[in-house]
Structure 1
């Protein structure tokens, strides 16, 4: 009898399972898919652990964690280089930024997207990738920037983000119309601001790679108030006579590494300003341009603090400056713990320069205060100077430069001019600061 009871129980279980499978098959055929069991909707099957029942959960449910790609094409972007795609980009960003689960914002390759001033603002739920495979082209109508003349593209308040240009992505600033109206080009024009092509603001754990930026209206890439940033394999270009087109501008940013990049512009290849700490630059090719600059610091009698700057591995060709530190009279603060090493310079006008008396105004008055420059090392630097002076230390009488070290420096074609600087030579150094200069 016991044997019969066991067999009966097994048969009943088999019948219940067959009945359940038939019901499930019926549900799949009724509105959710085809007879082969595939689903047409984006819905997911999810097991509720509380009651061990298989339930259907919509992909719009907040508990979903599937990854997704949001393409600007899905929101009407034409990509013909003529149609204004600004609104399509804004709608796509809103979707990508608010999507649950890991998401990607995609600009497809092979097309050119015309954009006015556009702000991509977070915080986002799980956006991890901003992929630019096509070309972003700036509107050439200056009236399109009347609400914000300082920015073209802004990305802000997003963490753990990767900006990737692949092998085809381009940011084209179309800056010629702005350069022509600059007071630096046409003295009869008033000095007005122009947009920065790409502003990265208040981002943490940012990774920028394989990006190409061209012909910015003014600064090409500005990295502001960010932390933990990696920039790798970027190419930045603009004509050598384009005004204020700094390649990468860094301000109020900590822990940033720039590597394997090429920059040629009409201004600084890289400029580092107040609030920047722990900046690492490796394997940089620079030229044309104004070289690598720390500053300007202390303008309008302000305080400025910069520290932990390390340039290791760079080649500069036909630039107006090589490695430069520039501060205004009347400012205060410090620029310290700076190292330039393993650098090759070819036909550079001012290969090594510290200028604590920098002035870009028509009339400059002598002031007593200055930003203190200290602990600066120049190591393994070689090349040729395009001017008669290869090394310039023009330091403040009240706040002279301290702890300046020249180690294995060999720059041909120029002399050294050293004023109010404490300079120590190590290894082979040429040219040297003469003994008749004021060494504290």
Structure 2
């Protein structure tokens, strides 16, 4: 009898324990966890850390949070004085080699001093390069082991570069400008680093970035495919030499939108190998405008096609929309359209120059890059010089298929040489 009572007591205890476990499990599910492995089931945003990196989790899905690699975790001080180059390189190596969706983070609120730095792939699963703080270039020219690049990002696919509302790339270019032969004729002409070079990238999204005072070119996009540039602000003094805002070469399928560029050279320069480029909602000035070229230098071949500019404002710039080619070159610049553009006090609002030369001595040559199928539509504003439209084309390879449609630029005349021009709608001034 005593043995039966003991067994009954054990049985009752087991029942009580099962009831408690069931209650705990119900509470566990009510807290938002829908699976035994503890995966989160919610429509909310899950904060990963204190650096404001957010990852969206969709309801009913089991997903692992993306990992974030911060340069602060690798010793970057961000005090604007300490050289943080090695910390950035170590953090990049970790982020590039990590499995799973990975974010490379430059925290906000600090300035990181860097010398020449290479961010090289290929990477396993790096998807985000978040520049929320400031990257500041060394002002010592001797610190640059690479005389052509300051920051270079290469061989990474499917990447987003996001500056948020706080990210800045500062080239501190004044020391380089002072030693340029274009500023001081007694100085030898030497190369200065490009601030940010984007090389051999596929499926790149760059947005919300501020780039200023580059040593030379501000942003160079080279040998890339499928690039989207949005809400980028580029700035440098109007007299800073060779500080092109966005330089594009050997790149296909690129979009530049909602950007503001004021600098000492071309706002956007478009070089050989550029195909299918769309520019919209651009503000330019000071600067040398949008320039296709120069093409064909040193008797080279050059091919540019599919350039479409729809929506731009030029203010106090040296040029508006320009195509420039050297004598002696070959190839084509074709299928180009500039439309919905406003000019305010621009020195050369519309210009094609097939006889461009930036050398001390220029010789007449017979060959030229062929310019054809170029449309100028819905362009208005004012010229700062007596010539608002210039078509200075080659005698042997005249400009073909040039269309002016609803063009009204006040304050200057048209100078047209060796150009096949068709006027549509209201056009002023006209080629005589």
Quote the offset at 1:365 in angstroms. 0.5
Residues 414 and 431 in structure 1, CA contact (< 8 A), matched pair in contact too:
yes
Q: Distance in 1 between matches of 2:280 and 2:350?
A: 18
Residue 206 (structure 1) aligned to one of 183, 204, 207: 204
The residue that corresponds to 1:283 in the other structure is 281
Matched ranges for 1:10-89 at <5 A: 66-89=65-88
SS at match of 1:351: strand
Q: Distance in 2 between matches of 1:261 and 1:294?
A: 18
Residues 65 and 102 in structure 1, CA contact (< 8 A), matched pair in contact too:
no
Quote the offset at 1:67 in angstroms. 1.5
Output one character per residue of 1:203-238: Cα deviation in whole Å (capped at 9) or x when no partner. 000000000001000000000000000000000000
Output one character per residue of 1:66-96: Cα deviation in whole Å (capped at 9) or x when no partner. 5200000000000000000000000000000
Residues 65 and 100 in structure 1, CA contact (< 8 A), matched pair in contact too:
no
SS at match of 1:100: coil
Q: Distance in 2 between matches of 1:298 and 1:144?
A: 34
Q: Does 1:111 align with 2:110?
A: yes
Quote the offset at 1:45 in angstroms. 6.4
Give the TM-score normalised by structure 2. Answer: 0.86
Output one character per residue of 1:350-385: Cα deviation in whole Å (capped at 9) or x when no partner. 000000000000000000000000000000000000
The residue that corresponds to 1:349 in the other structure is 347
The residue that corresponds to 2:6 in the other structure is none
Output one character per residue of 1:220-258: Cα deviation in whole Å (capped at 9) or x when no partner. 000000000000000000000000000000000000000
Quote the offset at 1:148 in angstroms. 1.1
SS at match of 2:406: strand
Q: Aligned residues, how many?
A: 381
The residue that corresponds to 2:254 in the other structure is 256
SS at match of 1:92: helix
Q: Distance in 2 between matches of 1:125 and 1:425?
A: 54
The residue that corresponds to 1:129 in the other structure is 128
Q: Distance in 2 between matches of 1:123 and 1:65?
A: 23
Q: Distance in 2 between matches of 1:268 and 1:65?
A: 45
The root-mean-square deviation of aligned C-alpha atoms, in Å, is 1.8
Residues 118 and 154 in structure 1, CA contact (< 8 A), matched pair in contact too:
yes
Q: Any unmatched runs of 5+ in structure 2?
A: 1-10, 22-27, 29-35, 39-62
After superposing the two structures, state which structure 1 stretch, 399-408 or 65-74, moved more: 65-74
Give the TM-score normalised by structure 1. Answer: 0.85
The residue that corresponds to 2:194 in the other structure is 196
Q: Distance in 2 between matches of 1:292 and 1:387?
A: 18
Q: Any unmatched runs of 5+ in structure 1?
A: 1-10, 22-35, 37-43, 47-63, 435-440
The residue that corresponds to 2:374 in the other structure is 376
Q: Distance in 1 between matches of 2:216 and 2:309?
A: 24
Q: Does 1:267 align with 2:265?
A: yes
